[in-house]
Amino acid sequence: MSLRNLYPKDLLVYFHAPGRKLVELAIRAKVAPEPGILASIAKMLAESNVRILGVNFTVREDERYILIFADITSATLPLDEILKRISSQDFVLEIRHQEGVIEGYIFDAFGYPPTIGRGKVRTVVFPLEALAGMRARLMEKLGSGGAAILY
């Protein structure tokens, strides 16, 4: 499959939107009797004119972990009211938030370190260009020994 046919899969590390008021929401929820936890939260945000910029949804046993980057610039309700509405849902166990301290930026505060395997395996992520540069320097300095290390 060509890379052109693949969808982007961003990590929620930061988001930049000049001139916008950005927040991060961290929601821990229990499994609801019916599917739709994410849909319910998205609907509440949309009804308050909050634009979702990025979402990470992790399932771990009977709990759901939802991280959201959102733009509240044009919100029709104050953030504390939006948070109260979300936290009033029976499935919500905890909700935390942070507002961007630099205008137009939000940096992840609740989803670190990045993980895989339902949040059980901690990972390290490198941009491809950085990894290629490290490989080239290792090969340049150590030659075949560098190749052995990489193998």
- Going by pLDDT thresholds of 50, 70 and 90, the confidence category of residue 137 is confident
What's the pLDDT at 15?
A: 94
Question: What domains are defined for the chain?
Answer: 3-112 (3.30.70.260), 122-151 (no CATH)
pLDDT in tens, 18-55: 999 999 999 999 998 889 999 999 999 999 999 999 99
Q: What pairs with residue 106 in β-bridges?
A: 15
What's the pLDDT at 1?
A: 64
Q: What pairs with residue 71 in β-bridges?
A: 22, 51
- Angle of helix 79-87 versus helix 37-47 axis, rounded to 10: 150
What's the pLDDT at 104?
A: 94
What's the pLDDT at 48?
A: 98
Distance CA 69, CA 107 (A): 9
How does 93-126 read in b/e, with b if 16+ C-beta sit within 10 Å?
A: eebebeebeeeeebbbebbeebeeeeeeeeeeee
